[in-house]
A and B are shown apart, each in its own frame.
Chain A
């Protein structure tokens, strides 16, 4: 059977038109990007971004329903255009996944074309907007009239629409501020990552104490004769043999301080780890204490037997700040801030972020990050819709395969 090849832009539009349209959108994006001298996209804040989004949603849904049978609208809401736009988003993300982001020197090609900030560039923004139009129109057809069998489709597509649009348009309202506080003091000034001008926060954070736990230290053995070395994590009673020497960890003090007379005294906090090591070779035993030095000092090897022995601090295991947060409205909250355990206060979330790494466990400084993201509930709504759709998809996928 001879098929007549459809002319370009002859109805119904399909993949070639979609690819052309998408390529034109991306190209236009790059041209605007260059013309605007790499300044990037306008970044409207609340309430303007919300208004814009609401307008976009209403326009797209009503246009999709009103001109359901118009061939151009049919194409605008169809899979061929969707696939081309997915491809465009993938290619732009690929640039973002290969070119280091937010590091380019000003004036470099990567900056002028927006390549080093691709996710806030014009080509990306235009592609996302067309993606939302395409997805929204497709959605409108399945939304009205509502049918139960379309639920999975609606949850997937509406969930993604909401998460994507609110995530991207809401990102302008995201505030991430780092508050440095010293022990025994309070701070209410936050700095952005770029360390620009300070921001006054509506609350202050008082730091009672910063504390750091480390994993067991690492014992390093070095043989000056052969320049060989080995290392292992310490625990009391550990025995091992290496190069004809038997090594025994006689004692391990996770936290201790040397006293005036040179003996070691265990302390509850803010001490350093020490180990007593016995090395035996050829029937001779020798013992000695080795300790971790402060992170700012050079470790000193101790000679025991024929070997040089050194103790490295373990990696940080946990660090936390005991704080009292006081709001300008008088509200107060006592809390322990720890990695993975943020605390909410007056619509903000407070995170344990960092400390003075040179001082290690003796740090008196804690870096606390305060984050305010008014759009988070909307994005999460999208996420949960997608997950619900996912459950249905899993279920239906399995069920259909039973019939097949």
Chain B
């Protein structure tokens, strides 16, 4: 990653989020600060959006190949979910967690600047590449937000302050995430048929993607079996661990030595 430009963009975004969040918290007392806070927070995300566009153009290929590049997308999209939830359901706390999570991803990237590599191996040069990865990204973003919301619900639960809207938010985010995960899985299978000859080979990345899909499938069924919503908040919060393994952990597992999916470590 071009170190200088990324450092500038990431720092600008984090400052916008931090100040935006402070204004947002202060607006509890001083309502006039609410709008500037929201605008600043959105500006932070917009800065990253512009950076991605520039970087895409600079590379001449979609920046969706290395781990650092995917973290950049998460950092851009996760706060967006927080803003949408605030707009849609008037729930404002989620966006703080989302901006925190995004900051975390940016800091990882700042600590591990990557060498940029413009090449794309032939199997990745496919019209399926962008939809498959983008659908997955969006799915993970929803699920990350869902786990965040669930963790907040767990915290409220421990203080006996659960709310109906709280579990509703984590639930709908999980549904949205599940829908995108399902599309991602199937797009991946259809693409694999074109690129590698078979739609499913139990490649470690596929196996782990299937596992995280099963985790949310189990959630949906537990939910429709009327299992106590509050217990399911724990479950949703912890499901994120499976997702994290699927994102990053797979690269370090013994089974993944021959995987076509492991992101280049450069």
Residues of A within 8 A of B (CB): 79-80, 82-83, 86-87, 89-90, 93-94, 96-101, 119, 167, 174, 176, 215, 233, 314-319, 338-342, 349, 351, 353, 369, 371, 373, 376, 379, 383, 386-387, 390, 393-394, 397, 401, 404
B183 in contact with A371 (CB, 8 Å): no
Contact A404:B168 (CB < 8 A) given known A100-B257, A101-B202, A383-B189? yes
Find A233's partner among B118, B178, B198 (CB 8 Å cutoff). Answer: B118
B interface: dominant SS: helix
With A80-B225, A376-B199, A393-B179 given, can you name 11 additional A-B contacts, CB distance below 8 Å?
A79-B222, A83-B225, A93-B214, A99-B254, A167-B199, A339-B125, A342-B194, A342-B197, A379-B199, A386-B186, A393-B175
Query: Which one, A89, A98, A316, A397, contacts B121 given CB within 8 A?
Result: A316
Residues on B with beta carbons closer than 8 Å to the beta carbon of A100: 254-255, 257
What are 27 A-B contacts with C-beta separation under 8 Å? A83-B221, A87-B218, A90-B211, A93-B207, A93-B210, A97-B208, A97-B211, A99-B255, A101-B255, A167-B199, A174-B198, A176-B197, A215-B118, A338-B122, A340-B122, A340-B195, A341-B194, A349-B197, A376-B199, A379-B199, A383-B189, A386-B182, A387-B182, A387-B186, A390-B182, A393-B175, A394-B176
- CB closest chain-A residue, reference B179: A394
Contacts of B175 in A (CB 8 A): 393, 397
Bound CA–CA A183/B154 (angstroms): 66
Cβ of B200 within 8 Å of any chain A Cβ, yes or no, is yes
| B126 on interface, CB distance cutoff 8 Å | yes
User: Which residues in A have their C-beta under 8 angstroms from that of B195?
Assistant: 339-340
A89 to B195, CA, bound (A): 27
Q: Are A340 and B208 in contact (CB under 8 A)?
A: no
Which residues of chain A are within 8 angstroms of B214 by Cβ–Cβ distance? 86, 89-90, 93
Inter-chain contacts of B121 with A (CB < 8 A): 315-316
Chain B 36-75 residues near chain A, CB threshold 8 A: none
Q: How far is the CA of A317 from the CA of B60 in the complex (A)?
A: 13
Determine if A390 and B179 form an interchain contact, defined as CB atoms under 8 angstroms apart: yes
> Which of chain A's residues has its CB closest to B210's CB?
A93
Interface pair B122/A339, CB less than 8 Å apart: yes
Chain B residue contacts of A233, Cβ below 8 A: 118
Interface positions of B from 200 to 231, Cβ below 8 Å from A: 200, 202, 204, 207-208, 210-211, 214-215, 217-218, 221-222, 224-225
Q: Hey, which chain B residues are within 8 Å of A176, CB to CB?
A: 197-198
Q: What are the residues of chain B within 8 A of A101 when measuring CB–CB?
A: 202, 255
Determine whether B160 belongs to the interface, using a CB cutoff of 8 Å to chain A.
no
Closest to B169 in A: A401
| One of A316, A340, A373, A387 near B198 (C-beta < 8 A) | A373
Min CB–CB distance B185 → chain A (angstroms): 9
Contact A98/B255 with A82-B221, A397-B175 known, Cβ cut-off 8 Å: yes
In whole angstroms, how far apart are the Cα atoms of A99 and B257 in the complex?
Answer: 11
CA distance A351 to B197 in the complex (A): 7
- A105 CB to closest chain B CB (Å) equals 15
**A340–B191 alpha-carbon span in the complex (Å):** 8
- Give the CA-CA distance A83 to B227 in the complex, in Å: 12
Residue B253 lies at the interface, judged by CB distance under 8 Å to chain A:
yes
Which of A83, A97, A338 is the one whose CB lies under 8 Å from B204? Answer: A97
Chain B CB within 10 A, most for which of A98, A342, A353: A98
> Bound state CA distance, A80 and B224, in angstroms?
11
Q: What chain A residues lie within 8 Å of B182 (beta carbons)? A: 386-387, 390
Measured between beta carbons, the chain A residues less than 8 angstroms from B189 are 383
Of all chain A residues, the one with the shortest Cβ separation from B225 is A79
Complex Cα–Cα for A101 and B122 (A): 25
Shortest C-beta distance, B60 to chain A (Å), equals: 11
Chain B CB count within 10 A is highest, among A87, A176, A376, A394, for A394
Whether A371 contacts B197 by the Cβ 8 Å rule is yes
Docked CA distance A318–B122 (Å): 5
- Whether B119 pairs with A314 at a CB distance below 8 angstroms is yes
**In the assembled complex, which residues on chain A have CB atoms less than 8 Å from the CB atom of B186?**
383, 386-387
> Is B123's CB within 8 Å of the partner chain A?
yes
Shortest CB distance A147–B (Å): 17
Nearest B residue to A233 by beta-carbon distance? Answer: B118
Closest Cβ neighbor of A14 among chain B residues: B225
Chain A residues, Cβ within 8 Å of B211: 90, 93-94, 97
Task: Given A97-B208, A387-B183, answer yes or no on A401-B172 (Cβ-Cβ < 8 Å).
Answer: yes
